[in-house]
Amino acid sequence: MEQGIIINRNTKAIRDSLKNAGIQPSASRMAIASFVWNTDSHPTAEEVKIEVEKAFPTVSLATVYNTLNLFVEKGLLKEVQDSNQRSVRYDCNTTPHFHFIDEATGQMMDLDPEVLRISPDLSKLGAEFKIREIEVTLRGRKMGTPQDKVKQK
């Protein structure tokens, strides 16, 4: 029953991804990418900063935001809304998928796109609606076994 996807790229793969997107793989960008591409926790900018500081103590918050925004622009990350509706979270899973938010913990989990079938009824929607993206979030509780908390590589 594994919904989450952890990208887990190594240093070389990360460097190549950045170069590929036309981004110079500077040290701070590498540090930020290494963190966001190896977690499925949908971190906030502040959480990214806290983690990245461990490896790279001089990184500034402005650089964290600049870098995350750059990654979003280049399609390497997606922005998603935190459930408090106040801050942004960053999602390294840029493939179409859905989210489940546990309302007790606030934790945002990826859902495999196969768990939901979504069919727009064009006859009712009207052809004048040009859809670019469908965003779906489920909210509720996940009654998980403790093992569910364990991250696997």
Indicate which of Zn ion, a copy of itself, DNA, none lies near residue 29 (CB less than 5 to 8 Å, by partner kind): DNA
Q: Which is nearer to a copy of itself, 60 or 144 (CB)?
A: 144
Closest listed residue to residue 15, CA positions, set 36, 42, 33: 33
Q: Which is nearer to a copy of itself, 34 or 43 (CB)?
A: 43
Q: Which of 57, 134, 149, 152 binds a copy of itself (CB under 8 A)?
A: 134
| Whole-angstrom distance, CA of residue 61 vs CA of residue 67 | 10
Contacts of 8 (CB under 8 A, 6+ apart): 37, 38, 153
Give the x/- contact pattern for Zn ion in 76-105, rule: CB under 5 A. ---------------x-x------------
Query: Using N-to-C axis directions, what is the helix angle for 27-36 and 11-20, rounded to 10°?
Result: 110
**DSSP of 63-95:** HHHHHHHHHHHTTSSEEEE-TTSSSEEEES--S
Give the x/- contact pattern for a copy of itself in 97-116, rule: CB under 8 A. ---x--x-------xx-xxx
| Helix (H), strand (E) at residue 33 | helix 27-36
Indicate which of DNA, a copy of itself, Zn ion, none lies near residue 62 (CB less than 5 to 8 Å, by partner kind): DNA
Indicate which of Zn ion, a copy of itself, DNA, none lies near residue 91 (CB less than 5 to 8 Å, by partner kind): Zn ion
| Whole-angstrom distance, CA of residue 94 vs CA of residue 132 | 14
Give the x/- contact pattern for Zn ion in 35-74, rule: CB under 5 A. ----------------------------------------
Residue in the structure block whose two tokens are 């591409």: 37
Interacting residue ranges for DNA, rule: CB under 7 A: 23-24, 26-29, 44-46, 58-63, 65-67, 69, 86-88
